Amino acid sequence: MQKYILNKLLELSDCFSLDDKKIPMTDIFNEGWMLRVCLDWYSQQENTSEQKLFTFTPTSIWASEAMLSSPFKRRIKSGDKLAEGTTNADGVLGDLVLSKNSKWDLSLQNKPEIFYILEAKMNSKLASGVSNVDNYNQSTRNIACMIRLLINENISLDSNIDLGFYVLAPNSKSSIFEEPLSLNFIKKELENRLFKYEEFANLSSILWKENDYNEFLSFKNTYKMWIEKIDVKFISWETIIDDIKLSDTLYAVQLENYYKRCLEENKVKSKL
């Protein structure tokens, strides 16, 4: 019998009554755990001809709260105002290698077939910027980090790797994600981000390290082509539940009940 995270999570929630104030119920019923219990189920399914929303290869893994390095790295020890550190991805799925020493040392396996980044939402929008840069959406930022990793791992634009950036949220929230998931929107934001990052270096007479500059040029020259290879879209939690229901009705019912509680605790209006 397969063991799922959802069962353990529901057991934990049963330890607390509805009026128990020891912990906030949103610590248990939230988008982060919703994502984990969905990926946990998909990861334990056998590879068959039946098409599923998320299909794992025999070597694929998933992880939550992975940290991805940015292509806009710091070029001087202090004062590089347009640099950024790492981006926190709610979930990653694919032929990946996770370092035992660092949660953000993410790399790709040899000849990877799949690499997805997933952003989970319940009652919030995608963040519109970072501390020093406005108009640099969470969607654009994640995709930039994905491209940077692909370049750093010497993955060719001609490779057959399946790439995806997916925002998972209630169906009732779908309209707020239409613009930030548009390829034109993402390209424009990255174009502006690249220009300002390079301009700041020129105005501040920053001397690039050769390796950093070559990596930056590679990103600048190929990012638009990489974006065209990435499947970028919104997927509702309801769609995922329906997909699971096709092959595992019992789990789908448990997941649907958990999801309803997530909506209730996070005060989300839904037609479910």
Q: What is the pLDDT of residue 21?
A: 65
User: CA-CA distances (angstroms) from residue 119 to 68, 141, 190?
Assistant: 13, 11, 19
DSSP letter, residue 175:
G
Q: Mind giving me the DSSP string for 209-241?
A: -HHHHHHHHHHHHHHHHHHHHEEEEEEEHHHHH
Q: Kindly tell me if the per-residue pLDDT of 272 is higher than 60.
A: no
Q: What is the pLDDT of residue 101?
A: 65
* Residue with more model confidence, 179 or 13: 179
User: CA-CA distances (angstroms) from residue 187 to 116, 146, 179, 205?
Assistant: 19, 14, 12, 27
Residues 7-42 pLDDT 10s:
888 888 777 665 566 778 899 999 999 999 999 999
Q: What is the pLDDT of residue 49?
A: 53
Q: How confident is the model at residue 98 (pLDDT cuts 50, 70, 90)?
A: confident
Q: What is the pLDDT of residue 134?
A: 80
Residues 238-253 pLDDT 10s:
999 999 999 999 999 9
Q: What is the pLDDT of residue 139?
A: 96
Q: How confident is the model at residue 103 (pLDDT cuts 50, 70, 90)?
A: low
Most confident by average pLDDT, 80-94, 125-139, 143-157: 143-157
